[in-house]
């Protein structure tokens, strides 16, 4: 989305975030099987992934909310979980060099959500 129409990119980001946020809120309220299909949820997650990965090495003001919301989908079934895991890993890789500065853009809660997503559990644990 870099180098393109900024209004289009902002509209895409906003709509992707709103859709994913709506799904996440519905799931949190019900704490049960949702009416959305895996394909619908995965589509919303892919929109967030596109937004998050569109700004490698940069930290625009909207990015912490988007990457945190994306990380909240890590508990979903496959293929959503693997999509989230790969995207968060790529985010961490592209922001590793300047993370000490960029992490100040995140709240403590957002950093905890990212840490929970990024921590790898051992097969032998």
Whether residue 47 contacts residue 24, with contact meaning beta carbons closer than 8 Å, is answered with no
List, for residues 13-66, the tens digit of each pLDDT value.
999 999 999 999 987 776 555 578 899 999 999 999 999 999 999 999 999 999
List, for residues 78-88, the tens digit of each pLDDT value.
999 999 999 99
62: exposed, middle or buried (C-beta count within 10 Å: 0-12, 13-18, 19+)?
middle
Cα distance between residue 81 and residue 85, in whole Å: 6
Cα distance between residue 37 and residue 55, in whole Å: 29
- State residue 4's pLDDT score: 64
Does the pLDDT at position 122 exceed 50? Answer: no
Whether residue 44 contacts residue 69, with contact meaning beta carbons closer than 8 Å, is answered with no
Q: What is the DSSP string of 49-77?
A: HHHHHTSTT---TTHHHHHHHHHTTTTSP
Q: What is the pTM of this model?
A: 0.86
- State residue 34's pLDDT score: 59
Cα distance between residue 59 and residue 109, in whole Å: 18
For residue 113, CA distances in Å to 1, 2, 9, 75, 116 come to 26, 27, 26, 12, 5
């Amino acid at each position: 989305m870099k180098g393109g129409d900024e209004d289009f990119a902002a509209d895409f980001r906003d709509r992707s975030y709103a859709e994913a946020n709506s799904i996440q809120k519905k799931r949190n309220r019900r704490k049960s099987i949702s009416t959305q299909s895996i394909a619908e949820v995965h589509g919303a997650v892919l929109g967030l992934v596109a937004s998050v990965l569109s700004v490698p090495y940069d930290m625009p003001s909207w990015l912490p909310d988007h990457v945190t919301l994306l990380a909240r989908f890590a508990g979903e079934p496959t293929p959503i979980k693997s999509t989230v895991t790969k995207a968060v890993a790529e985010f961490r890789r592209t922001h590793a060099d300047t993370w000490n500065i960029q992490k100040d853009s995140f709240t403590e809660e957002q950093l905890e959500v990212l840490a929970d997503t990024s921590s790898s559990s051992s097969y032998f644990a």
